[in-house]
Structure 1
Amino acid sequence: MLRRADFWKEESEAPLLRLNRSFLPSDEILQKIEDNAEDDFVTNFDHVRIIRLDAERTFVNIKQRTTLMHVLSFLQNEFNSYHQAMSYVAGFLLLTNSPTKVIEKMRQLHQNVLIDYWTEEPVAFATDAYVFDYLLADYYPDIHQHLSKHFILPETYTQKWFTTLCVGVLPFKALFQFFDTFVTNASSTSTNIFLFQFALSLTKHIREGLLQTKNVAVMYQYLRLDSSIPQFDAKLDELAVSIVDKAKDYDLSSYDFVKLREKAYNEKLRSRLEAAKRSHDERKVSITSSSSDHESEEEEEAQPITMKTLVNRMENLHIE
């Protein structure tokens, strides 16, 4: 997209470019674009409402929105699922890749690295959020205790790091570096371990300010590197680049992530999911025995309380 003749005229105010901070257009980035020409990728799928809305939240011009909608609709059909984070990652990748290349990269991430992250019921993501919680307790127990004391649960702040791959969190200078490092590591290891390294690096970099505040809203601002934090705005690019650079310093090879994920699911999620299922089953029984006059209304209210519902009810979880 960056090579489209009117891209900057049309997209200078695009939500996706909010954290560009004058990094693009960059000759260095343009030279890395492998696709000499964009393919005319179209699909025959009807674009569902959420995909149309996500395209509007990403680009300004109908041309860029349409390209993104075609890509997302194709992926939704192939994955048989959709998650809002897909629009963030695909939108960013479209800046420097053809639609066909973006689909290929998204497919590789979905199948080999972010397995079951981009689903309507992201239990895999929630599990990894608690795996990070264990790592945080090991490395920085003071931060872990501080967040726990204020009931800030890991799935309420790691989503912006893990499922959207920091699109909307990191300024573009650091974001391009993050993607280069993450994709390189993921290609060689087929794991998402770099996400945990990055998360530890980020929490270390914001440690001092985070521990000094007792305001929950401000804590979330620190966790998403919000430029409204005065000390962030002037040096946000420098801070973010340092976070990405230092991530590789965390050697997590001694951890058994298979066992950590089993532990996280069994200790943190299993009982919640089972309780949600019991609640849903009980409500279904209640609906069955209720009068037919109210049946349709109550059925609508009694949708399953699944991990998606539980996660979405957490404070600040919805991606904006």
Structure 2
Amino acid sequence: MSSRCTGFLSQPSFWQEEGDAPILKFDFGWLASHTDEAIARANAWLPHVGVEPSRVDADTKPLSSEGARIFRADANRTFRSEPNRLVCIKLLSFSQQKFGDYQQSLGYVAGLLLLFFDPATCFKVLTVLNDSPKYLPGYWRGEATACAVDGYVCEGLLKPHLRARLKELGLLPETFVQKWFAGICIHHLPYSILFDFLDRFFQHGNSYLFQFFLSFFDTFEDEIMRAANNPEANMLIRFESAPEEASAQRYVATIQSLDVHKCRISAFQEALSRRLQSANEGMWQKMDDGIEFSDEEN
């Protein structure tokens, strides 16, 4: 085992205890047969995000209180070993405390990072992904408006007939980009393909997510146009019937030429602003308390 791994993969009993862990659902045996390669590739992500491995002696004692039940539930949905779950809970709790919000997609990313890095290093990586404009700023909020906005930016770059077809199928960007973007495809792509995706994501940031979006709908345009209904199209979106990653390299120039800030403003105004306003306004609406008095007229 490579000495450069400080995460759960360095545990001698990892495969015995975690071999069927949910985080490995899409591994299909690739990681066990490519462990050293995967560790080397994961270590190469750190310079891209400007993170050096943590040198602190990490305190992995469980929190005195597990905190929100969602952290326990998400840790249980990620690992099998109770000690590993407790480390995961602590990492997710610290993330919520520092970032001010939490979303399950953050849990996916934290779980994958914990395979390779100690929790203090994972927290440094999550901090950059959460805070840097290059990566996933605002994507990991409970109401992930920023992620939805970027989905609509991407949708606006599609061919008009594809945009119309997505609308007919009821495929709104916010219904699928959360897993593609905020969850960086961890629970969608087989690991043999996922690591190619992650290598490019850590190098190029969210611009690669935009390229991936455009490439997917270019590659699978015919399948989307032929989809009979929403469930059939969703199988494609979830990669159940499209198991190979689309090549995103052809869209590098397209994305580089975008005024992303301007596109985000337009996408928010056109696709989300009124909906969000209406939902929030509704919180102030006076409700009939339902009490009827005997002298009220029918």
Given the two structures, how large is their TM-score scaled by the length of structure 1?
0.78
1:85 aligns with 2:105: yes
* Distance in 1 of aligned mates of 2:18 and 2:222: 37
Residue type of the partner of 1:254?
Answer: S
CA distance in 2, matches of 1:40, 1:208: 52
Q: Aligned partner of 1:158: which letter?
A: V
Which amino acid is the alignment partner of residue 276 of structure 1?
Answer: A
Asked if 1 retains the 8 angstrom alpha-carbon contact of 2:41 and 2:199, the reply is: no
SS in structure 2 at match of 1:13: coil
Check if 1:17 corresponds to 2:24. yes
Please name the residue that 2:219 is paired with: 205
Which residue of the other structure, out of 251, 276, 281, is the alignment partner of 2:279?
Answer: 276
2:268 pairs with 1:265 = yes
Q: Considering only aligned residues, what root-mean-square deviation do their CA atoms show, in Å?
A: 2.2
2:114 corresponds, among 86, 91, 94, to: 94
Q: Structure 1 residue 149 and structure 2 residue 154: aligned?
A: no
Give the stretch that moved more between structures: 198-207 or 39-48.
Answer: 39-48
Superposition deviation, residue 105 in structure 1:
0.3
| Contact residue 85 and residue 118 of structure 1 kept, 8 A | yes
Where 2:180 maps in the other structure, the secondary structure is helix
Cα distance change on mapping 1:30 and 1:266 into 2, 3 Å: closer
The 2-side partners of 1:253 and 1:168 are apart by 28
26, 31, 37: which is aligned to 1:28?
37
- DSSP-derived class of the 2:224 partner: helix
Which secondary structure does the structure 2 equivalent of 1:286 belong to?
coil
- Most deviating of 26-35 and 147-156: 26-35
CA deviations 1:59-104 (Å, max 9, x no partner) are: 1221221111111011111111111111100001111111111100
Identity, in percent, stands at 32
Aligned to 2:179: 160
Q: Which residue of 1 aligns with 2:189?
A: 170
Counterpart of 1:130?
A: 152
Q: Residue 224 in 1 paired to residue 238 in 2? A: yes
For residues 125 and 31 of structure 1, the distance between their equivalents in structure 2, rounded to whole angstroms, comes to 30
Partner of 1:69: 89
Q: Which amino acid aligns with 1:208?
A: D
1:41 and 1:100 in contact (8 A); partners too? no
Residue 149 of structure 1: how far off its partner (Å): 1.6
**2:12 is the counterpart of 1:5:** yes
Segment of structure 1 superposing worse, 141-150 or 41-50? 41-50
Q: Secondary structure at the match of 1:135?
A: coil
Q: Which residue of 2 aligns with 1:49?
A: 69
Contact 1:117 1:163 in 2 (8 A): yes
Instruction: Give the TM-score normalised by structure 2.
Output: 0.83
Deviations along 1:99-122, one digit per CA (max 9) or x if unpaired, are 111100000010002111111221
Counterparts in 2 of 1:44 and 1:115: CA distance versus 1, 3 Å: farther
Q: Within 1, Cα distance between the matches of 2:181 and 2:287?
A: 39
What are the equivalent positions in structure 2 for 1:226-241 lying under 5 Å apart? 226=240, 229=241, 232=242, 236=243, 239-240=244-245
1:45 and 1:74 in contact (8 A); partners too:
no
